[in-house]
Structure 1
Amino acid sequence: MTFEHPQELLRTGEADLHRVVSILSADAPGRVASALLEALGPAADKSYVVYSYAWPQEVHCWPEHCEADLDILAVDSRLLSLRNGETSAEAVLLSDDEQGVVALLMHPPAEAAAHAAELRAAGQRLRELLTSQRLDHSISHFSQAEQLQHALFAIADMAGSDLDMTTMLRGLHGIVGGLMYAENFYIVMYDRERAALQFLYFIDTVDFEGPQPGSEIPMSAIERGLTWYLVTDGRPMMGSLTDLAGQTSGPLHLHGADCLDWLGVPMLRNGEVLGGVVVQSYDEPGRFGERERALLGFVADHILTAVERKRSQEQLEYRVAERTRQLAEANTDLQKQIAERLRAEHLQAALYRIAALANVDESIDRFYAQIHEVVAELLNAENFYIALITDDGGHLEFPYFVDTADTAKPRRPLGKGLTEYVIRTGQPLLLDEPEALRMEERGEIAWSTTSGAPAVSWLGVPLLGQHGVMGAIAVQSYRSDLYYDEADAELLTFVSHQIANSLQRRNSAEALRLLNAELEQRVYDRTQQLREQIAVRERMEAQLKHQVMHDALTGLPNRLYLQDRLEREIAMLRRRPDRRFALLYLDVDRFKLFNDSLGHLAGDDVLKEVSRRLSDCVREPDVVARLSGDEFAILLVDINTPHDACGVAQRVQDAMQRPMSIAGRDLQTSSSIGIAIGDSRYQSTDAILHDADTALYRAKAAGRARFVLFDDSLQRQAMDVLGLEHELRAAIAAGEFEPYFQPLVRLGDSHAIGYEALIRWRHPTRGILTPDKFLPVAEESGLLEAIDWQMYRLACAAAAPLVKSGGFITLNISPRHFQNDDFDERLLRLTAETGFDPSKLRIEVTEGTLLGDPDAVAKILDRLRVACVEAALDDFGTGYSSLGYVHRFPLKMIKIDRSFIDSLGSDRSQRSSAVVGAILALAHSLGVEVVAEGIETELQRQALVAMGCMFGQGYLFGRPKPAEHWVEAPAEG
């Protein structure tokens, strides 16, 4: 307590001064309140003190037992009355700095006015202590936000590093441990198709027998356990085992060691549970609270991204290694093929040379010598001879014999030599000295009695003529380093055939006989060729007819075939009016995405798989045809009711929704189907194709992955769309579009800081139309850009009075504008032509725009920033990776999507408050302004102000109005 004049201290009695000093020396708000109530005396037995450093949050009472029955709304109503200058016997305002520091004495005693000094001292001391608490809370809040930001950056760095999965997961564990208690920590991935959990990482100080990292456990093994409920229910769980039992959707069965405190959050992607992150404590209950749950849930999304990116990297490395191995194997096989090809070419050349020798007019000795030269080029033949059976068949002669250890052999009667054995069996013989001795023991040959030096390795093959074996050729080795093998035997066998033919062709009579036989064979071969040519021509004609009427890629009938069948069905309707058929016109949803992302080859594989599935959905008389691209048609003949056609369409939908394995990825497909029932009203194929196509368009417009049965209302709707397109073109020419503006305000005092320009169409007959009534048709018809530029010009012209004294306007920019590199130049020319200051202009883009072509968008935004045109990110938090956009692109402002604002100020605000708080912390750390969209209630505004959000937009502050409205009335309130 302070006094402006010393006389005031003199007028304060000793007892009063003691009570004032006691109040001023209290070091906590509760002790100040206790000292004040004690100073007021027994008359204050029903009084209590309410105080907060962040009103209306963090509200406390003294005595503490009053908190259980505290009515915050009633206290807040008293506070508003006191702020408006009203007096109340129910409360005394001790402190209020309009920034959240509030203290009130509730139900004061009647003689409270006599204790003005104590009340002033209590108000001053409470204001000091609560202000200090508010500053401590802000410092802690910003510190946590900075720590979270560093953690997210560290996770992103790990995901893009070359660390292996195990090292990265240990790093993630360390990051989470820096944010909260995480001594016991594990990460699981959920495989829905296999109904199994894979424990990527598991560290536990108590459960040493837990799953090993990388192990896979069936869901049935941990059924009704905590982790089972985490991935099955898909929502966070936290608390003691007793608390957790009340959070599960069924009975809880414990697995593993019992913990005192447990916190688990699922890892989600597009609403599907892909895994979970869990921390637990064994030695201290209550370690985890709402802060830890929100923090772990926020970090879990980035852990999932890091794990998926690392898995993709490992899979890519595995595929590269596998492909390298396959190429190495293919190269080895190719080298073998090349060697085999060279060997074959060498052999073929040798055979050609031997064949040519038969036509050379040389002596027989020269002929044999040249044969020896050719054989020597193929294998070692330093010891080589040719043996022939004489005409009488009883002797063996050696017309050619070359040997380093023996002399020429004379003519001899047929006996049991090695050469005679080859001639007798008609088979090649390869042996060494031990094998020769064993054959001699069996009585097959006479080896030891053979004259000359024994061979270490011997190879002989028969010479096969037209009438049987005519002789043999042989090579032999006396060296211990030279042994013949099976390859040599095969090679010499090939050569022996050619040698035999050459020997026989030297006989003129035999040559004449062979010539006649060859002539007969040629006549036969030519006859067979003519027959084959006729058969080929017939097959080509049939194939050409099939190609004309069928699709080359899928093999299905094409449009010509389908039109022919439709004409026959329509003709049959004229003869049998009671007969019906149905035409299903369908296309593959998102096929262009598959084609652009995976390539045309993968797109072709998708079409082939679609063709196969469609064929499996129909019976034999029905026809499945591919019309063009990803468009297919199914002709159902002789159906009873339209319900039958709908049943087939549902069967097709079910078949198409099964995942496809294309290019190493599982693709989730679907189809949109239009159905037209053929009856007597159809006189041409074009008519029924048009109606089925109209129904298909309606199915796609209704959200895809569905079928629509054609009726007359669809035809009228199609005509309405055409009419609206015509009216839009006329509206552009007539200038019927107008800019409306909605204020962006400072939440503290509702002062407008800027305006968002929104388009309206002043229709000549239907009045003012909002964008949802005509922009979809404008975008589909290609009129959107023309409408946008007309709107930008009108907005700049109309907004000049709004920003005359400061502020800015924002324009919503369609993604297609960023496909033009000169968008920024054209926008700046427009501001120059309208005289609008570029520094008072901001453009709003969506996260989908940034995702389209990030590099091109970033360059355009950088050039606009240089020209003083800032950028704002609209609908923040609803895209794929909002944090990455804020960090990467030059953004001045982010607008929090209204989906996070709706629940503020209600019982469901806890999660939204955590997300909004995290966004605000991130934005403040990056120096980016934040605007909360969709504020409609005062409670939402107060909640945002309490969290530190400075700017907002919504119906609470004003609905979109023309510029003149806001010039006359800057805020609706």
Structure 2
Amino acid sequence: MIDSVTELEALATGIAIIDGDNVITYANTTFARRLNIEVLPRRLTDITLPEARSRDLLEWQLRDIGESALTIEIAPGRTLTFYIGARRDDQRMVIVASGWPRREESTLDLAAQLDPLTGFGNRLMYAERLRELEATGARCAAVLVIDLDHFKQVNDTLGHGAGDELLVLVAQRIRASTRGNDTLIRLGGDEFVILIPEEKRREGLEALAARLVNLLGRPFLVNGHQINIGASIGIATLVGDSEQLQDLLRHADLALYEAKHQGRAGHYVFQSQLEQRAFDRRAFEVDLRRALGLRQFTLHYQPQTSIRDERVIGFEALIRWEHPTRGRVSPLNFIPLAEEIGEIASIGRWVIRKACEQAMTWRDERLIVAVNVSPAQFVDDTIIDVVRDALAHSGLAPARLELEITEGLFLDESEAIMRRLWAIQELGVAIAIDDFGTGYASLGYLNSFPFSKIKIDKSFIQAEPSPRASALVSGILAMGSNLGMATTAEGIETAEQYHQLEQEGCSSAQGYYIARPMPADQIADFLDQFAPPTAQAG
């Protein structure tokens, strides 16, 4: 079957994409040559035809939004068959051939193998090309899988039309960087594949990948908007650690995952150990999906104390995963995965509900319970219902619940996010900014919502003492005071850190210097025996 521009020309088949006004937005070289098209864009019905009747027939055929075929005379004694694809998203594909092709060169078969948006092949073409390589006994091949970074943000902010235009521009840059016998595939969404049929040294493949990363990292202009994305690329070669042609795409995908894991906007070449790593990750994912149902999660609580009143004012709920064979799994290891695979919603719902239930057992009804909430839990209005249901189920007073969110929640500056925050606050629940100073660069969000508290990240508290570090903490404390927000310093480990924060007017303290996180059943004893840090120091 068809695998490259070179073979398309050999089959005398041309491909073009037209928009809703029948304007040609893309044409391969064969199409352009067959119809004497030198400049794009151009209306398909404006091509030079010897008779007005031929143009009328073509215009009439184009009125039908479904699939159709038409053979017309384009020059004296010369005809072309136009296969016109069904209209989709205000676009359609047009294929031209010299009469009806032979069965083995059917334009209908070709149409099924093409992506109408970019003119690249699709999964069917990739599979067909792989079968051809296997039939010839090919022992040299390589696959590059290209995934665009931050493409979803383009669709979310500018719309899918702009996203489609961006994909067309991306395809043009990929095409310009490859050779005629490379097979170009759009797998779907924002993922592309380059299948290189002959041996190529690893250095050459990495040079191609680096060039593509550079090209796709340059700005695009779509509808007057400058768009900056990036690309991550995975590489697999048949002459490397991949032994079978059928393994190439899977191995390149594993390499792509590693490239993204290492920070995106880069490339990675598949190595055999990635398969074991993928197997381990899959097993870890399965265990995580089962953990909630098997009741392997528990909550520990770290106290927060008022520096001025020298009393415990509440506890932060911290999730713990006790696995029967893995032992205690750090939240730093499983929370990102839970966000990635969509488990964070159910885990987060359990944490809020369980924290409210356990807070109701504390004797002092003034104590608050603080719960961390992932940005992924704010993707829809469900978070509002989760909070409301947890309060109703437990009977906890809303004023005793505090949700801690990170600055990353405000990256997309979504009105929906702010609406959900306001809805939660209207329930009577406080909302604090956690890990302040480590995320979002703009401080505008502090002026858009009445946050109850700023939690200063422990990296500032535990930094090597210096005038600069002290000035940063002092600045955050002063800002909180001026905005009428309480401040909590987390990660306090020494008396020196505690007393420095006390002198600078910090509202409350949290860290190992106060107490380590503890199971729920130890809280009562802790409160009975609690001695203020100043008493400890004395």
Question: Which bracket does the TM-score occupy, shorter chain normalised?
Answer: 0.7 to 0.9
- Are 2:189 and 1:625 aligned? no
Q: Which residue of 950, 953, 964 corresponds with 2:510?
A: 953
Equivalent AA in structure 2 for residue 900 of structure 1: F
Distance 2:482 2:373 in 1: 27
Does the aligned pair in 1 maintain the 2:80–2:99 contact within 8 Å? no
Counterparts of 1:450-489 in structure 2, within 5 Å, are none
Does the aligned pair in 1 maintain the 2:432–2:453 contact within 8 Å? yes
Corresponding residue of 2:304: 744
Distance 1:672 1:948 in 2: 46
Deviation at 1:544, TM superposition (A): 5.2
Deviation at 1:881, TM superposition (A): 6.0
Counterparts of 1:567-966 in structure 2, within 5 Å, are 567-573=131-137, 579-678=139-238, 686-748=246-308, 751-802=311-362, 804=364, 806-821=366-381, 823-850=383-410, 852=412, 855-880=415-440, 883-903=443-463, 906-907=465-466, 909-910=467-468, 912-966=469-523
- Are 2:115 and 1:555 aligned? no
Deviation at 1:546, TM superposition (A): 4.9
Report the TM-score, using the length of structure 2 for normalisation: 0.73
Corresponding residue of 1:968: 525
Distance 2:290 2:283 in 1: 11
Counterparts of 1:379-390 in structure 2, within 5 Å, are none
Superimposed CA distance per residue, residues 237-286 of structure 1 (whole angstroms, 9 cap, x where no aligned partner): xxxxxxxxxxxxxxxxxxxxxxxxxxxxxxxxxxxxxxxxxxxxxxxxxx
Does the aligned pair in 2 maintain the 1:861–1:890 contact within 8 Å? no
Identify if the C-alpha distance between structure 1 residues 595 and 866 changes in structure 2 by more than 3 Å, giving closer, same or farther. Answer: closer
Equivalent AA in structure 2 for residue 754 of structure 1: G
Distance 2:229 2:416 in 1: 30
Counterparts of 1:380-419 in structure 2, within 5 Å, are none
Identify if the C-alpha distance between structure 1 residues 535 and 742 changes in structure 2 by more than 3 Å, giving closer, same or farther. Answer: closer
Does the aligned pair in 2 maintain the 1:553–1:608 contact within 8 Å? yes
Corresponding residue of 2:46: none
Distance 1:754 1:550 in 2: 61
Q: Which runs of 5+ in 2 are unaligned?
A: 1-71, 83-95, 102-106, 534-538
Deviation at 1:856, TM superposition (A): 3.9
Does the aligned pair in 1 maintain the 2:455–2:487 contact within 8 Å? yes
Superimposed CA distance per residue, residues 824-870 of structure 1 (whole angstroms, 9 cap, x where no aligned partner): 34423323323433332111122233455654444444444444322
- Are 2:129 and 1:565 aligned? yes
Distance 2:447 2:265 in 1: 36
* Higher-strand-fraction structure: 2
Distance 1:900 1:704 in 2: 27
Deviation at 1:535, TM superposition (A): 6.4
Identify if the C-alpha distance between structure 1 residues 825 and 569 changes in structure 2 by more than 3 Å, giving closer, same or farther. Answer: closer
Superimposed CA distance per residue, residues 44-74 of structure 1 (whole angstroms, 9 cap, x where no aligned partner): xxxxxxxxxxxxxxxxxxxxxxxxxxxxxxx
Identify if the C-alpha distance between structure 1 residues 802 and 674 changes in structure 2 by more than 3 Å, giving closer, same or farther. Answer: same
Superimposed CA distance per residue, residues 571-622 of structure 1 (whole angstroms, 9 cap, x where no aligned partner): 3336xxxx42111111111111123223333323322332222223333432
Superimposed CA distance per residue, residues 723-769 of structure 1 (whole angstroms, 9 cap, x where no aligned partner): 22221232211211000111212235753221110100111112222
Distance 1:740 1:685 in 2: 50
Does the aligned pair in 1 maintain the 2:344–2:377 contact within 8 Å? no
Report the TM-score, using the length of structure 1 for normalisation: 0.42
Corresponding residue of 1:469: none
Q: Give the 3-state SS of the residue equivalent to 1:696 in structure 2.
A: helix
Distance 1:924 1:681 in 2: 59
Superimposed CA distance per residue, residues 115-173 of structure 1 (whole angstroms, 9 cap, x where no aligned partner): xxxxxxxxxxxxxxxxxxxxxxxxxxxxxxxxxxxxxxxxxxxxxxxxxxxxxxxxxxx
Does the aligned pair in 2 maintain the 1:802–1:963 contact within 8 Å? no
Identity of aligned residues (%): 36
Does the aligned pair in 2 maintain the 1:573–1:680 contact within 8 Å? no
Counterparts of 1:132-171 in structure 2, within 5 Å, are none
Distance 2:513 2:137 in 1: 64
Superimposed CA distance per residue, residues 183-215 of structure 1 (whole angstroms, 9 cap, x where no aligned partner): xxxxxxxxxxxxxxxxxxxxxxxxxxxxxxxxx
Superimposed CA distance per residue, residues 905-949 of structure 1 (whole angstroms, 9 cap, x where no aligned partner): x12x33x43343333333223322111222233333232222221
Deviation at 1:633, TM superposition (A): 1.0
Equivalent AA in structure 1 for residue 514 of structure 2: F
Deviation at 1:704, TM superposition (A): 1.5
Equivalent AA in structure 2 for residue 697 of structure 1: Y
Distance 2:200 2:376 in 1: 48
Identify if the C-alpha distance between structure 1 residues 688 and 879 changes in structure 2 by more than 3 Å, giving closer, same or farther. Answer: closer
Superimposed CA distance per residue, residues 808-836 of structure 1 (whole angstroms, 9 cap, x where no aligned partner): 11011223433443533442332332343
Equivalent AA in structure 1 for residue 473 of structure 2: V
Deviation at 1:782, TM superposition (A): 1.7
Distance 1:662 1:538 in 2: 32
Equivalent AA in structure 2 for residue 746 of structure 1: S
Does the aligned pair in 2 maintain the 1:583–1:677 contact within 8 Å? yes
Equivalent AA in structure 1 for residue 114 of structure 2: H
Distance 1:942 1:559 in 2: 64
Q: Give the 3-state SS of the residue equivalent to 2:141 in structure 1.
A: strand
Does the aligned pair in 2 maintain the 1:581–1:637 contact within 8 Å? yes
Counterparts of 1:72-87 in structure 2, within 5 Å, are none
Corresponding residue of 1:183: none
Higher RCO (C-alpha under 8 Å, 6+ residues apart): 2
Distance 2:134 2:81 in 1: 37
Distance 1:762 1:772 in 2: 14
Does the aligned pair in 1 maintain the 2:296–2:321 contact within 8 Å? yes
Find the structure with the greater CA-based Rg: 1
Identify if the C-alpha distance between structure 1 residues 732 and 621 changes in structure 2 by more than 3 Å, giving closer, same or farther. Answer: same
Q: Give the 3-state SS of the residue equivalent to 2:366 in structure 1.
A: coil
Distance 2:123 2:154 in 1: 24
Bigger drift between 860-869 and 841-850 goes to 860-869
Identify if the C-alpha distance between structure 1 residues 753 and 571 changes in structure 2 by more than 3 Å, giving closer, same or farther. Answer: same
Distance 2:143 2:410 in 1: 41
Does the aligned pair in 1 maintain the 2:351–2:371 contact within 8 Å? no
Counterparts of 1:93-172 in structure 2, within 5 Å, are none
Identify if the C-alpha distance between structure 1 residues 961 and 546 changes in structure 2 by more than 3 Å, giving closer, same or farther. Answer: same
